[in-house]
Structures are given as C-alpha cells and as structure tokens.
Amino acid sequence: MAGPRHILVLSDQVISQIAAGEVVDRPASVVKELIENALDAGATQIDIEVTDGGRQVIAVADNGCGMGPDDALLSIERHATSKIRDVADIERIQTLGFRGEALAAIAAVAHFTLTTRPAAALAGTEVTLAGGKLLEVKEAGCPAGTRIQVRRLFFNVPARRKFLRSDQTELAHIRQVLVVYALAHPAVGLRLVVDGREVYRLAAGATLPDRLREVLGAELARLLRPVSFQGEEVTVTGGAGLPAAARQDRSGQYVFINGRPAGAPVLSHALSEAYRTLLPPGRYPPVFLFLTMDPALVDVNVHPTKKEVRFRHPGQVRDALIAALRGALQPPAPAPGGPGGGEAARPAPAAETQRLLITDLPDRRAFSYPRLPMIPPAAGADGAEPADRKLTTPGMEGQRPDVPSGPPPDSRPAPWSWCRVLGQVGGLYVVLETEDGLVLMDPHAAHERVLYEQFMRQVLARQVRSQGLLAPESVELMPREVAVINEHRDVLRQMGFGLAEFGGAAFIVDALPACLGNASARSVLAAVAETLQRGGARGGAEHWAEEAVAQAACKAAVKARDTLRLDEIEKLVVALAGTEMPYTCPHGRPTIIFMSFDELNRKFGRA
C-alpha cells in the first residue's frame, strides 16, 4: 500500500508569486524592469509617474515601437519574449531584458494595465489584469508606444507589502534607478513625476558630460577625468573621479557593460588596484565607466535581476580597466628622449608650465610661524644656510613662478589658478587663499606627491639619475624582506639604487636616486622592502613594482616635522600645482583640504 504523499505540484498562482519575488521585491524593481523594456523597444523618451512611493501607482510610458494585439497578449505570459529565439542567442545577448519574466511577474502581484500601439496602427490595444488573472482586452485610442500602469503593488502578497519601507525610502530607490539608466543612456529623455510634482526632466540627445551635470551636479562633473582606452577585447570610456571627490561608500561607482548596469568581483578589484596609490583604505572614488565588448565574451545570465555578469577572460577585462583608469589619473609616459632629451623631448608650452601665480605675498619680515622661531629670509652673513634641514623640491631650487600668459589648459587642470600663502598652523599645515576659497596643505604629503611623480617620470623615461653616497651604508633586513629585495633587484637598479649583498640579511647601499636628496639609505630600503613584500601578490599593473618602490622611497625621504621657510613653501606650492594628481600623496592621504567661499559664507550665516 502506498504511503502518504508529501510532494505536491504548486498551483500556477503560487508559482507566479514565487517567480515574482525573484524579479520584483520593491517599487524600484518595477520601474527598473519597465525602463529596460522601454529602452529595448527603441524609446527616445520615457515618462515615469509614481504615487505614494510606488505603493499605489507606478506608470511608465515610452515612445518605442509598441505592440500589436497578439504581441500585447503574449507579453504578459511567463517566458514569452521577442529578444531571444534559441539557446545560442543566450550567449550573444545585446538587449537589457531577455528572460520574458518581468511583465508576468509584475502582473502577478498588482493591478496591471498595458496600453500599446505600433506607429503604423490606427488603434491600440489595452490589456487589464489583476493578480495575474486576465480581466479585459479591448481596443484603445493611445499614442504610439507603450504605457504600463501598475496599481496597488503587492495587494495580494501582504507579507511582501509589509516589508516595504517609508514612501521616502522607496522613492529614493526609484530615483536611484532613474539616475542609473539616465547615465547609461544619456541620449534618451527621462521624466519623473512624484505625487503630481515633476522631479526630473532630462532632455533627449544629451552627452554623458551633460547628463552628469544635470543629474549629479557641476561640482562632481568638475572633479572627473575623461577615460578612453582601447584594449584587445574591451573598450573603456567614461569618467574617473579625482581623489578629492572620494566618499566612504561605493554609491558613486557606476559601471555599464554594453549599456547594462552590472558588476562583477573582478571590476571591484580593478577599481581598488587602480586607485591604490591615490586613496587610503575605506575611501572610494566616483567612477562612470562604460565597457564595450563582444556580447559573446560576457555572460549576463548569472543573476535573476541581471545585477552581476561573468567575463570569459576576466584577466583581460581587469587589466584593461586598470590601464584605462591609470591612463586618466596618472602622469603619461614622457616622449622618447625624456627630460633633457633635447629635440626629442616635447617642448612644453608656456601656458602649461606656468599654471600658478603666487602674488601679493606678505612681506617676509612680517611672516611668522606660530610656535616656531622667526627664520631670516636669507642666508647668514657668512653665506651659510640656516641650521634647520630644508624641505626642498629637487629641480625647483632658485625658481620663481612667472605670471601666466593665460588660464591653465583644461587637459591638465591645476587645483588653482591663483593663490596666496597666508601662513602655517600647528607647526605643520600651510594655509593658502585661492580664487575659490581657503586651502589647507600638508606640505609633507605634498612633497611626497611631487617626489613620486618626478621619480616615476624618470623611471618611465628610463632616465633615473643616481647619486652615490659619501659613505656606503649597511642595511640589515628581515629574511622575508631580503627575499623580496633580491627578487626585484633589477628593478631597484634601474631605479637608481646601488646595492649589493653583504652576507646574511644585510645589504650595502652605495647609491640612491638623486631625487630623494639626503634621505637615509636604511629608512628608504626598509620601506621599499616592506612595500614590495605587502604588494607582491598584486597583479594587473605593468609598473606596479616601480610604483611601489617610488611610493616607499618618497615616504622615507620626507620627514614629518621639518621646518619650512616661506620661499620653500612657495616652491612646494608651485611644484604641487604642476603635478598630475595634486590632491593626494602616493599612499592616498590628502595633500590639500579645500573650503570654498560659499561654504564659509554658509558657516557664518551669510547669504
């Protein structure tokens, strides 16, 4: 005799609601699916209306291709789609949707009305459902395109409705969806109406920079560097944020693969690696990156909501993304011949080298540092330098900035076009006035940045100047550090280090890169060993070892409490303004903190 049956076949209604839970978990999910369908239909204008955070009404109308009566009825069936035909099509998906689940899932948990008309048809079709049950099909007068209205979302799934947040929270998620697709498709016009009030009206035919300014503001757009890179299998375009725009979460990072907002672990790793020398841990830059590749090289059929993709060759995608970001953020390799290469070196136009005007400086005799003794503006009577160790910028000695003939070029913007040194606070931080506000500069972080870029330019040009030590130093390291130094000894020699094994865990250092000045060989080599050991497992960057050496060497070359004179501050300000990345040191610490006049006025209660 057969035992009791425990396994039952679920009803179509339960199956539909379970499937809907995978695709639709809140009002923003409905908006996302309907926007994707509109984009796939070729719409150039999409209008969205929301009431009560999407609980009561969500309506999305587009001017896309529309549907005839038969297609309109089939579109609400599960697994009915116009975007793929067979298994082979799944491997080359070029549309945002393809599973044929969205409309059926939405209709299963709401009151659903679909109104649509192809441009060539005289009349449209209106289909009405409630909880997945077909109620009515009729002709309707309507504009070309499609309009879908979703009312009383989750009316038949009270548990899901109970988990919805406040109207403001749900509306914030809807606005975020709109922002994502507005950036992904800037040529498409978008309009959002909330409770009868227009919140967004984004014009069609916009470019990405225009759309960024419209959606995220001119201030953020100003802090972006253009990204353009052509790899073997992937093209990367978009914008990369400067360190000054970094935030404490990844909410400002947007990555689009073939127009689809999506992510992958390899992309997060590439972003972290590209900004490793620019930002400290826990800070994330805003990026707006568009990856274009053969659809056959990316698998979008990974996640029910298509939030994550898989790449056939993730290493190539990672390397392309790192190269694209570093190309936008780091100094370019010099022309053949490099600095001092005569005619082979590209002559810099005057406007490019004269980007900073320091004028109207206070008289040196009136310039003093709090907590520090007054320092005479010139050398002593015998011509000797003062006893304090100077923080100087190699190659900047004796130089004074000239008046620029015009504004700095947009391709390499300096952090300011005019500034005035006001003083130094806390015995360390330099206070500057610029045309836009007040700047606090950490001179030691700034000096690290100047040294690092100078060092890397020499390395990339293969013209590192080495300086022999008067007395070679013996440096003893830990066994692991010895191994990593030996592994990268050729790199170190190319970078101007003269070192030889001295038995056991000791090395003899008889030369250092000239740009490091009078740095201690012991501190430099120890810092280099530690950095190389920590970064030995990193990959995907062509010059990562050289960059690691330069970071460590520059850090070791700068001391935390060196006394600065006014002329040295001026030289350092000029040198920092001339760097490619003046906002952070090579380790990601900020070099300058900016406070605009608008912010100061707000803090003091001025209009």
* Mean pLDDT, the chain, whole residue set: 78
Asked whether the predicted pLDDT for residue 403 surpasses 50, the reply is no
Tell me the average pLDDT across 199-209: 93
Predicted local distance difference test score (pLDDT) of residue 515: 80
Q: What percent of the chain has pLDDT over 70?
A: 76
Predicted local distance difference test score (pLDDT) of residue 348: 36
pLDDT, tens digit, 9 for 90 and up, residues 133-180:
999 999 999 999 999 999 999 999 888 888 898 999 999 999 999 999
pLDDT, tens digit, 9 for 90 and up, residues 502-522:
877 788 888 888 887 777 777
Predicted local distance difference test score (pLDDT) of residue 325: 92
User: For the ranges 151-165, 377-391, 527-541, which has the lowest average pLDDT?
Assistant: 377-391
Tell me the average pLDDT across 182-208: 95
User: For the ranges 90-104, 396-410, 496-510, which has the lowest average pLDDT?
Assistant: 396-410
Tell me the average pLDDT across 270-277: 85
Asked whether the predicted pLDDT for residue 201 surpasses 90, the reply is yes
Predicted local distance difference test score (pLDDT) of residue 355: 35
Backbone phi, then psi, for 494, in 5-degree steps?
A: -65, -25
> What gap in Å lies between CA 239 and CA 308, rounded to an integer?
21
225 contacts 239 by C-beta, under 8 angstroms: yes
Predicted local distance difference test score (pLDDT) of residue 311: 92
Topology of domain 12-206, CATH: Heat Shock Protein 90 (3.30.565)
> In this structure, are strands 253-257 and 260-261 parallel, antiparallel, or unpaired?
antiparallel
Predicted local distance difference test score (pLDDT) of residue 425: 82
pLDDT, tens digit, 9 for 90 and up, residues 541-580:
456 667 777 777 677 666 644 567 778 888 888 888 888 8
267 contacts 253 by C-beta, under 8 angstroms: no
β-partners of residue 600 are none
- Extended beta strands in 182-313, E state: 189-194, 197-202, 224-230, 234-241, 253-257, 260-261, 287-293, 298-299, 310-311
203 vs 372 pLDDT, higher one: 203
In terms of pTM, does the model score above 0.85? no
> What gap in Å lies between CA 224 and CA 220, rounded to an integer?
7
Residue 326 has a CB neighbour count (10 Å cut-off) of: 22
Asked whether the predicted pLDDT for residue 493 surpasses 90, the reply is no
584 vs 385 pLDDT, higher one: 584
Tell me the average pLDDT across 325-348: 52
Q: pLDDT confidence of 410, banded at 50, 70, 90?
A: very low
Class of 223-329 in CATH: alpha beta
Residue ranges covered by each domain of the chain: 12-206, 223-329, 415-607
Q: pLDDT confidence of 3, banded at 50, 70, 90?
A: low
Query: DSSP letters along 396-425, please?
Result: -TT--PPPPSSPPPTTS--S-SEEEEEEEE
CATH architecture of 415-607: 2-Layer Sandwich (3.30)
Q: pLDDT confidence of 44, banded at 50, 70, 90?
A: very high
